[in-house]
Amino acid sequence: MMTDDQHPADEQKRDFLRIALVGSAVAFVGAILYPILAYLKPPRQGEVEVTTVKAGKLSEIEKDSGRIIRFGNRPVILVRTASGDLRAFSATCTHLDCTVQYRKDMGLIWCACHNGKYDLNGRNVSGPPPRPLEEYRVVLQGDEIFISRRT
Amino acid sequence: MMRILRSIYAWMDERLQLKGLMEYMGKKYVPVHRHSIWYYFGGVSLFLFIIQVTTGILLLLYYKSGEALAFESIRFIMAKVEFGWLIRSIHSWAANLFILAAMIHMFSVFFEKAYRKPREMTWLTGMLMFFLALGFGFSGYLLPWNELAFFATKVGTDIAGIVPVVGKPIMTFLRGGDEVTGATLSRFFGFHVAVLPGIFTVLLGMHLLMVQRQGMSEPLGHRAEEEQKTMPFFPNFMLRDLALWLLVLNLLAILAVFFPWELGKKADVLSSAPAGIHPEWYFLFMFQTLKYIPGKIWFLDGEVLGIGLFGLAGVLWTLIPFWDRKSARGEQNRFVNYLGLFAVLYILLFTILGWLA
């Protein structure tokens, strides 16, 4: 009886079979894994691009106070300083994503999670935050306050 | 009664050949020495895990996932369902005791160098289970959808996002989007009740099988030739185990009844993080460290550095059987003792600091 490797035609046939087998196995696993991996990735939500939001009436906001305003999907902090200036910043702490608040006693914007502090220009002045808060534009139309993204 | 049991056993034995197994169990001995007390904490962890599975299944009967329902359904469990407050309180307390018991178990194995050859894989599966336990804690914490949980999840998943290259996709995967929303809650629910228990059970099976197969590790310096005291596993050690489990169950009941777990305030996406916010105690030392690290160190972001160092420490800790060659040869390794001592002191110090802050 002849052994396989003495037959070049057999060897070719065997190579072909091996490639076909491994190839189809890879394709098979891929066809199962690809949909699963794709499924795990959350789809992009049709997010409405917000450029301006109404933030309330000036007469309703006390001096030396702050509040959180919804800006699309994100929170924005609107601060009215002791002198009456209006300022708005992204309320998402640049450290680890917590939502900041205005601290009257410090006259600062403060994050409770890791004790990060920002001054009223949004600059990170103390604690772990690595970057300043993004500033938003505040526009006053009569008594109505509008906040918009700086472009 | 005994006759019936005996004939059932004979029927099974005829088919499954139980005799060999019973003989094997009967020959299992546990070494007795002054460090024997540490042998019990693995068993205590196992017991608390069983409690978690049981109470977890009970909570599943009423819990509803989703932004609009999660908080309300737990309030319903606590206020309307008979003994609902108890089941939920036990689940929360047992979770914490479980992590504590697993920690004690881990540190005792570390200091006894029981991870050394031939038990590297037992240590490895144990460490993986410990990380899964932290994952259980982290994912379960979000399920009531309260204020603390919301911000803890924001911070925790943001930390995952800091890891270079793979971080952002992992964060998006965990959150089910760019932000922590109801989508995150759904995913965490799935991880908590299906993915993690599945993986954990497989690892636990391997871990226990290896413990059974290899027997208990003995402290370094115990010589095999020396006359040694032992105790049969069955029934002596097992009865001691069970007595301790009963004690733990009592402790758990006292904690759950007299210090019922609070539900807190429902999460509000538009509120600021409340003052005094902090994670569960077992994450506290890392949380406290992050507070002290400034925003920029040299050219690195402080948090990247801090999290990188903790990650590295975790990897080295997990791989200790593979780099502690001395213990594997049966020699004392002082460096490992000091390292373990440093870890314990660091964790204690920063946990206390975090607690006081």
pTM of this structure: 0.87
Weakest mean pLDDT among A1-5, B83-87, B135-139, B192-196: A1-5
CA of B260 vs chain A CAs: smallest distance (Å): 25
pLDDT given at position B224 = 58
CA of B181 vs chain A CAs: smallest distance (Å): 10
Contacts of B287 in chain A (CB under 8 A): 114
Contacts of B296 in chain A (CB under 8 A): 130
pLDDT given at position B53 = 97
Q: Span B37-41, mean pLDDT?
A: 93
Chain A residue with minimal CA distance to B186?
A42
- Both tokens of B215, joined, read 């027997």
A112/B275 CB distance under 8 A: yes
pLDDT given at position B75 = 95
Contacts of B154 in chain A (CB under 8 A): 96-98
A98/B270 CB distance under 8 A: no
Rounded CA separation B24/B189 (Å): 41
DSSP annotation of B156 reads H
Contacts of B293 in chain A (CB under 8 A): 128
Give residue-wise pLDDT tens across range B159-203.
888 888 889 999 999 999 988 999 999 999 999 999 999 999 999
Rounded CA separation B3/A137 (Å): 86
SS3 content of chain B, % helix, strand, coil (to 5): 70, 5, 25
Any CB–CB contact under 8 A between B173 and chain A? yes
Residue B7's pLDDT band (cuts 50, 70, 90)? very high
B291/A115 CB distance under 8 A: yes
B184-to-A41, A95, B88, B171, B226 alpha-carbon distances in Å: 12, 20, 22, 10, 58
Contacts of B301 in chain A (CB under 8 A): 130
Closest to B172 (Cβ–Cβ): which among A42, A74, A97?
A42
A40/B173 CB distance under 8 A: yes
Chain A residue with minimal CA distance to B277?
A113
CB A130 within 8 A of CB B162: no
CB A65 within 8 A of CB A80: yes
pLDDT given at position A130 = 87
- Both tokens of B69, joined, read 């329902």
Count of CA atoms in the C-beta half-sphere (13 A) of B224:
2
Chain B residue with minimal CA distance to A117?
B295
Contacts of B274 in chain A (CB under 8 A): 112
- Both tokens of A147, joined, read 């906040």
pLDDT given at position A8 = 77
First-to-last CA distance in chain B? 62
Beta bridge partners of B232: B29
Residues in chain B, overall count = 357
Any CB–CB contact under 8 A between B269 and chain A? yes
Give residue-wise pLDDT tens across range B312-344.
999 999 999 999 999 988 888 999 999 999 999
Closest to A73 (Cβ–Cβ): which among B155, B179, B294?
B179
B303/A100 CB distance under 8 A: no
Chain A residue with minimal CA distance to B287?
A114
B303/A95 CB distance under 8 A: yes
Rounded CA separation B97/B117 (Å): 30
CA of A146 vs chain B CAs: smallest distance (Å): 18
DSSP string computed for B25-82: HHT-EEE-STTGGGGHHHHHHHHHHHHHHHHHHHHHTT---STTTHHHHHHHHHHTST
ω into B118 cis (within 30 of 0):
yes
Contacts of A42 in chain B (CB under 8 A): 172-173, 175-177, 183
For chain B, domains (ranges, CATH) are 28-220+227-263 (1.20.810.10), 283-357 (no CATH)
Q: Span A64-78, mean pLDDT?
A: 89
User: What three-state secondary structure class fits B3?
Assistant: helix
Contacts of A98 in chain B (CB under 8 A): 151, 154-155, 273, 277
Q: Considering all CA atoms of chain B, what is the largest pairwise distance in Å, rounded to the nearest integer?
A: 78
What does the domain layout of chain A look like in residue ranges? 10-40, 52-149
CB atoms within 10 A of CB B273: 25
CATH of domain A52-149: 2.102.10.10
Closest to A112 (Cβ–Cβ): which among B172, B183, B273?
B273
Give residue-wise pLDDT tens across range B260-317.
999 999 998 888 898 878 889 999 999 889 888 877 777 777 778 888 999 999 999 9
Chain A residue with minimal CA distance to B286?
A114
Closest to A42 (Cβ–Cβ): which among B158, B177, B291?
B177
- Both tokens of B133, joined, read 């336990």
Picking from B14, B25, B19, B33, the residue whose alpha carbon sits closest to that of residue B222 is B33
Interface residues of chain A, partner chain B, Cβ below 8 Å? 40-42, 45, 68-70, 73-75, 77, 91, 95-101, 111-115, 124, 127-131
Q: Mark out the alpha helices in B182-319 (DSSP H runs).
A: 182-190, 196-214, 238-258, 281-292, 302-318
Picking from B287, B301, B266, the residue whose alpha carbon sits closest to that of residue B353 is B287
